[in-house]
Chain A
């Protein structure tokens, strides 16, 4: 199985700050990488697919990038509504696997 190592596990940031979350894939997954946001008591929601493409309705302050087998999610100016847990997911080969999650809190 492809392992997705996500970091950090938790992150405290201030409003308007730039936030970056990373996922390291254990092998080449190309651009088959998605990011999800999960708010307390809710289902995960798709933020980014294909490494860099924004899902419908997602604010442009979110962006995704890749360097080799390391993938990053960037929030350019943190807003209150961005608080939650973020997960990466590889869709290169089954079993699809998720990162362990990053809990984003307000400082």
Chain B
């Protein structure tokens, strides 16, 4: 069965960076695009961007350009998102999520809580 296993919760200091991982299993990693989505109580769900694991091609929400960098490692079927220059406003739950050609998201990781605090 399809699974997206995300790395554990992070407590990080303002101004630093963090790299989140999402290991995919149960399907051919390069067959579906991978998305990253931010969830906060105040802002709800925000789409950060998408990566094509086959080509490495990416598309970002303008709001997160310069903040998020999406990469993949095909050899381990793992997607990554690096968040840089962290501020308390980056504190949120981040999901990796597989999408289909129709654009809907059929599988979500369990989410990872990132807390930015000094």
**A interface residues (Cβ-Cβ under 8 A, vs B):** 32, 34, 36, 43-46, 49-50, 55, 87, 89, 91-92, 94-101
Contacts and interface: CB of A to CB of B under 8 A. Distances in A.
B105 interface: yes
A46 B46 contact: no
Given A43-B110, A45-B108, A94-B50, A87 B102 contact: no
A98 B45 contact: yes
Contacts of A92: 103
B26 interface: no
A100 B110 CA distance: 20
Contacts, number: 57
12 contacts: A43-B95, A44-B95, A50-B102, A55-B106, A91-B103, A96-B47, A97-B47, A98-B44, A98-B45, A98-B47, A100-B44, A101-B44
Interface string B42-83: 001111001000000001011100000000000000000000
Q: Which 7 A-B pairs have the closest CB atoms?
A: A91-B103, A43-B108, A49-B104, A34-B104, A95-B61, A98-B45, A96-B47
Contact of B45 (A55, A87, A94): A87
Interface of B: 35, 44-47, 50, 59, 61-63, 95, 97, 99-100, 102-106, 108-111
A48 B44 CA distance: 19
Given A96-B47, A98-B44, A43 B106 contact: no
Contacts of B105: 34, 36, 44, 46, 89
A44 B108 contact: yes
Contacts of A44: 45, 95, 105, 108
Contacts of B108: 43-45
